[in-house]
């Protein structure tokens, strides 16, 4: 930062003497800035205070002292010092930028925004402000404004890796996958060793990767450490540690002996806090120094290791009673070495408890979120190979993602002979309040846990037989499992109690369709649409019925409206593409097929439909790429494997 000169020599001053003092002050400020950049604030602070004692009106030392207090999370002092600096020199954009950062870190994003905008008035190309404003709008879900600022940042400095990374993140959040992939490819061309860009470039490819780079994982969580607990627990309703603790508790029963426990990927210590009561000795392991610092503040661990999982486990050969890993294996991918190391570290009869994100079929995949999902067959194969027996496997909700519950499994494995089988959590052990029970049921329903959802819905109806939402949701569950007559009865009962809910009529229409009552189905869908003309789901469902009635033109009209109402919905684009194909509108159809797979790379129906479309166009290489994606998503799909082989053979022909 340039030093602003406060007093200049005038009559009666010796210019060389003044200039020497000023140069000395400037050098001291440069030294202090260097020390701050190196994280040596304790050494920088006395230098700055000496400069201030010689010149109490110096704007720059006040600004740098504000930075030091900001790093110490002493935001009140940081804001006061930076405010004094601004009063002395209101032309310095760096001061307004720093003030915005202090307010952001103190939790006041509105004031942060105002100071960053003021800094941009003074310097429209200030990269820090442009990037921070991009992140601010991105976090608020205002993606158009976020893109406006990040494009300005890249116009100011096209080579900025930080700006490119933020653009890639923005495209990822918007599910603009192909655009995001090109951005990360550009970063790798400039910096081939960039772990984060490499990881996401792999995540958006057809093949994915075997594991996440250690540098990516450590960097991700170092940057996330300060806001991890608040964002995950309060914002995303993070439940993995509680779900895992509950699973282990059911295996161990009441009053177990104190155990030697290791928390693999301990993060800030959320899991450690859950398992502390079981542990005579509790060790935590993480790659991120920032996370370990937060875990240390919790004071629940007897020992903390900065290490990867397998290296840490080698310290405990045959010593551990319990190894836990909540929401961590999603950053590992291939788990062969982890299972081998756990088997070696646990004593006979020791437990390995962990959570996974789910995929059907076989193996594991790297999702476009940058996290890995593992199939049950892959987990059980590794368990058998390494001498583990299954004690418990339970469906759990890990957290919310994009407004929906993210489904996973909690596993408890035993080294050696199988321990007594633990039973799944009883349905009536959930929350006591009727609305809490309903919400829990609805989350499990969304996550695909049909049995748990049904048991909880029935609990609600036992307490309140006229609970309209529970009647409706139980009816939806009945329809999804093929019991269309029961579904229609339940949903009709819900409508009698609350006739003005559009979703009730939509699902009644789907139940009628399942019963073959097409006219009743169309009528019910029409009522839903009249009740909520802005519902993309109602437009889509009505369109699908019209398509089945042989009315593709009317269907296309409603599907176009659905896409306009919800342009980020992969299903809406896919359905529109199918109808456009039937009408012979090939170019328009391809636009929507392509958008569907970009928006959701894990949407198997979209990949399959686009693959078939490309094969019919004799674009075999492109079709093979989509079939490859489909096989990854549906490993048991023999037809997709056969078509993949055919397309690869055709593409290889001269």
- Cα separation, 470 vs 94, in Å, equals 56
> Is residue 326 within 8 Å of residue 271, measured between CB atoms?
yes
Give the least confident one: 6-15, 173-182, 618-627.
Answer: 6-15
Tens digit of each residue's pLDDT (9 = 90 or more) over 413-461: 999 875 454 444 443 344 468 888 898 888 888 888 899 899 999 999 9
The pair of structure tokens assigned to 497 is 């109690």
- pLDDT at residue 424, as a whole number: 42
pLDDT band at 220 (very low <50, low <70, confident <90, very high): low
- pLDDT at residue 431, as a whole number: 47
Q: Look at residue 325 and tell me whether its pLDDT is greater than 50.
A: yes
Nearest alpha-carbon partner for 486 in 525, 515, 451: 515
- pLDDT at residue 19, as a whole number: 66
pLDDT band at 27 (very low <50, low <70, confident <90, very high): confident
Strand partners, 413: 352, 390
Contact residues for 525 (Cβ-Cβ < 8 A; gap 6+): 505, 506, 509, 538, 541, 542, 545
pLDDT band at 225 (very low <50, low <70, confident <90, very high): very low
Strand partners, 401: 404
pLDDT top residue among 220 and 76: 76
Q: Look at residue 466 and tell me whether its pLDDT is greater than 90.
A: yes
- pLDDT at residue 222, as a whole number: 52
- pLDDT at residue 11, as a whole number: 40
Kindly provide the b/e burial profile for residues 287-318, where b requires at least 16 CB atoms within 10 angstroms of the residue's own CB. bbebbbebbeebebbeebbeebbbebbeebee
For the chain, the first-to-last Cα distance in angstroms comes to 62
- pLDDT at residue 456, as a whole number: 92
Averaged pLDDT, 150-159: 94
> Is residue 523 within 8 Å of residue 543, measured between CB atoms?
no
> Is residue 160 within 8 Å of residue 134, measured between CB atoms?
no
Nearest alpha-carbon partner for 149 in 166, 165, 173: 166
Share of the chain above pLDDT 90, in %: 47
- pLDDT at residue 216, as a whole number: 65
Q: Look at residue 223 and tell me whether its pLDDT is greater than 80.
A: no
- Cα separation, 43 vs 63, in Å, equals 16
Residue 579's Cβ-count burial label (10 Å; 0-12, 13-18, 19+) is: buried
- pLDDT at residue 18, as a whole number: 55
Q: Look at residue 326 and tell me whether its pLDDT is greater than 80.
A: yes
Q: Look at residue 573 and tell me whether its pLDDT is greater than 50.
A: yes
133: left (phi over 0), alpha (psi -120 to 50) or beta: alpha
- Cα separation, 367 vs 601, in Å, equals 8
> Is residue 313 within 8 Å of residue 328, measured between CB atoms?
no
- Cα separation, 231 vs 160, in Å, equals 28
- pLDDT at residue 618, as a whole number: 93
Averaged pLDDT, 519-534: 91
Q: Look at residue 218 and tell me whether its pLDDT is greater than 70.
A: no
> Is residue 237 within 8 Å of residue 400, measured between CB atoms?
yes
Domains of the chain: 51-205 (1.25.40.10), 220-420 (3.40.50.150)
User: Residues 454, 455, 459, 465: is their CA dihedral positive or negative?
Assistant: positive
pLDDT band at 212 (very low <50, low <70, confident <90, very high): low
- Cα separation, 146 vs 163, in Å, equals 12
Nearest alpha-carbon partner for 244 in 405, 451, 399: 399
* Cβ neighbour number for residue 592 with a 10 Å cutoff: 25
Q: What does 157-186 look like in DSSP terms, one character per residue?
A: -TT-HHHHHHHHHHHHHTT-HHHHHHHHHH
> Is residue 96 within 8 Å of residue 127, measured between CB atoms?
no
Query: Cα separations (Å) of 144 from 411, 596, 599, 613?
Result: 41, 20, 17, 32
Q: What is the DSSP-derived secondary structure letter of residue 233?
A: I
> Rg (Cα) of the chain, in Å, rounded?
30
Strand partners, 396: 408
**Residue 620: which H helix or E strand, with range?**
helix 620-633
Q: Look at residue 227 and tell me whether its pLDDT is greater than 80.
A: no
Q: Look at residue 176 and tell me whether its pLDDT is greater than 90.
A: no
Phi, psi of 81 (to 5 degrees): -65, -40
- pLDDT at residue 293, as a whole number: 87
Contact residues for 647 (Cβ-Cβ < 8 A; gap 6+): 611, 615, 620, 621, 623, 624, 627
Give the least confident one: 5-19, 196-210, 291-305.
Answer: 5-19
- Cα separation, 330 vs 367, in Å, equals 10
Strand partners, 75: none
Tens digit of each residue's pLDDT (9 = 90 or more) over 535-556: 888 888 888 888 888 888 888 8
Give the least confident one: 88-102, 390-404, 457-471.
Answer: 390-404
Task: Give the number of C-alpha atoms closer than 13 A to the C-alpha of residue 155, restricted to the C-beta side.
Answer: 9
pLDDT band at 254 (very low <50, low <70, confident <90, very high): confident
Chain-wide mean pLDDT for the chain? 85
Q: Look at residue 34 and tell me whether its pLDDT is greater than 70.
A: yes
Q: Look at residue 136 and tell me whether its pLDDT is greater than 70.
A: yes
- pLDDT at residue 56, as a whole number: 77
pLDDT band at 336 (very low <50, low <70, confident <90, very high): very high
Averaged pLDDT, 335-341: 95
- pLDDT at residue 21, as a whole number: 67
- pLDDT at residue 333, as a whole number: 85
Q: Look at residue 208 and tell me whether its pLDDT is greater than 60.
A: no
């Amino acid at each position: 930062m340039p030093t602003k000169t406060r007093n200049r020599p005038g009559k009666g001053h010796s210019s060389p003497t003044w200039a020497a003092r000023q140069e000395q002050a400037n050098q001291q400020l440069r030294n202090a800035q260097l020390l701050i950049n190196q994280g040596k604030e304790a050494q920088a602070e006395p230098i700055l205070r000496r400069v201030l004692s010689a010149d109490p009106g110096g704007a720059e030392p006040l600004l740098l002292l504000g930075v030091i207090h900001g790093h110490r999370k002493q935001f009140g002092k940081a804001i006061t010092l930076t405010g004094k600096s601004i009063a002395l020199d209101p032309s310095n954009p760096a001061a307004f930028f720093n003030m915005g950062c202090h307010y952001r870190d103190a939790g006041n994003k509105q004031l942060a925004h105002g100071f960053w905008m003021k800094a941009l008035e003074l310097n429209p190309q200030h990269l820090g402000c442009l990037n921070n404003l991009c992140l601010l709008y991105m976090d608020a879900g205002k993606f158009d404004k976020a893109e406006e600022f990040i494009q300005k940042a890249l116009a100011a400095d096209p080579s900025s890796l930080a700006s490119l990374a933020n653009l890639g993140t923005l495209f990822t959040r918007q599910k603009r996958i192909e655009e995001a992939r090109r951005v990360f490819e550009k970063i790798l061309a400039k910096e081939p060793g960039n772990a984060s860009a490499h990881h996401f470039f792999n995540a958006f490819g057809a093949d994915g990767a075997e594991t996440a780079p250690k540098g990516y994982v450590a960097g991700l969580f170092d940057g996330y450490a300060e806001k991890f607990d608040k964002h995950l627990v309060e914002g995303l309703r993070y439940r993995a540690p509680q779900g895992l603790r509950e699973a282990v508790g059911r295996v161990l029963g009441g009053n177990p002996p104190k155990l030697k426990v290791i928390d693999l990927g301990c993060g800030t210590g959320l899991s450690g806090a859950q398992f502390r009561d079981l542990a005579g000795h509790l060790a935590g392991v993480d790659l991120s120094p920032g996370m370990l610092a937060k875990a240390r503040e919790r004071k629940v661990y007897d020992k903390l290791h900065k290490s990867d999982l397998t290296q840490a486990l080698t310290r405990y050969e045959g010593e551990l009673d319990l190894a836990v890993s909540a929401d961590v294996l999603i950053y590992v991918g291939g788990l062969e070495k982890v299972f081998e190391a756990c088997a070696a570290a646990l004593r006979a009869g020791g437990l390995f408890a962990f959570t996974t994100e789910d995929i059907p079929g076989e193996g594991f995949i790297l999702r476009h979120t940058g996290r890995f999902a593992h199939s049950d067959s892959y987990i059980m194969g590794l368990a058998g190979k390494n001498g583990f027996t299954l004690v418990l496997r339970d469906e759990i909700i890990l957290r919310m993602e994009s407004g929906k519950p993210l489904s996973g499994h909690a596993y408890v494995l035993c080294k050696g002979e199988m321990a007594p089988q633990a039973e799944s959590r009883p349905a009536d052990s959930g929350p006591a309040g009727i609305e809490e029970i309903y919400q829990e049921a609805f989350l499990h329903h969304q996550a695909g846990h049909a049995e748990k959802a049904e048991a909880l819905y029935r609990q609600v109806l036992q307490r309140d037989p006229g609970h309209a939402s529970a009647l409706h949701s139980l009816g939806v569950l009945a329809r999804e499992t093929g019991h269309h007559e029961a579904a229609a009865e339940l949903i009709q009962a819900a409508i009698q109690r609350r006739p003005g809910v559009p979703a009730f009529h939509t699902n009644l229409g789907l139940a009628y369709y399942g019963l073959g009552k097409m006219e009743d189905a169309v009528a019910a869908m029409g009522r839903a649409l009249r009740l909520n003309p802005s519902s993309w789901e109602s437009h889509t469902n009505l369109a699908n019925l019209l398509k089945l009635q042989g009315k593709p033109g009317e269907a296309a009209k409603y599907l176009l409206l659905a896409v306009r109402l919800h342009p980020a919905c992969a299903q809406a684009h896919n359905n529109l593409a199918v109808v456009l194909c039937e009408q012979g509108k090939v170019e328009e159809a391809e636009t929507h097929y392509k958008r569907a797979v970009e928006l959701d790379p894990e949407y198997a129906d979209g990949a399959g439909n686009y693959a078939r479309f490309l094969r019919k166009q004799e674009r075999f290489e492109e079709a093979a790429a989509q079939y490859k994606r489909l096989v990854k998503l549906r490993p048991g799909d023999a037809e997709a494997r056969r078509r993949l082989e055919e397309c690869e053979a055709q593409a290889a022909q001269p």
